[in-house]
Structure 1
Amino acid sequence: MSAQLRDIAGELAELLWREHTLYRERSGTVVIRGAHVERWISLSPTGGRDQVLVRAGRILDGGTTAPARSEAVATLTEGTSELAAVCRRLLADTAAGPAPRSEQPRRGRPKKAKAAERSPKPVRGSRHTGFASWMIILAVIGVVALFVRNLATAF
Structure 2
Amino acid sequence: MAKSGLGLDAGSSAAITVLKRAVELDSESRYQPALVCYQEGIDLLLQVLKGTKDDTKKDNLRKKITGYMDRAENIKKYLDQEKEDGKYHKQIKIDENATGFSYESLFQEYLSETVTEVWIEDPYIRYIHQIQVTLLPRVLMPTNYNRGRISPKEQNWLAV
Q: TM-score, normalised by structure 2?
A: 0.28
Greater share of helix: 2
Higher RCO, 1 vs 2 (CA within 8 Å, ≥6 residues apart)? 2
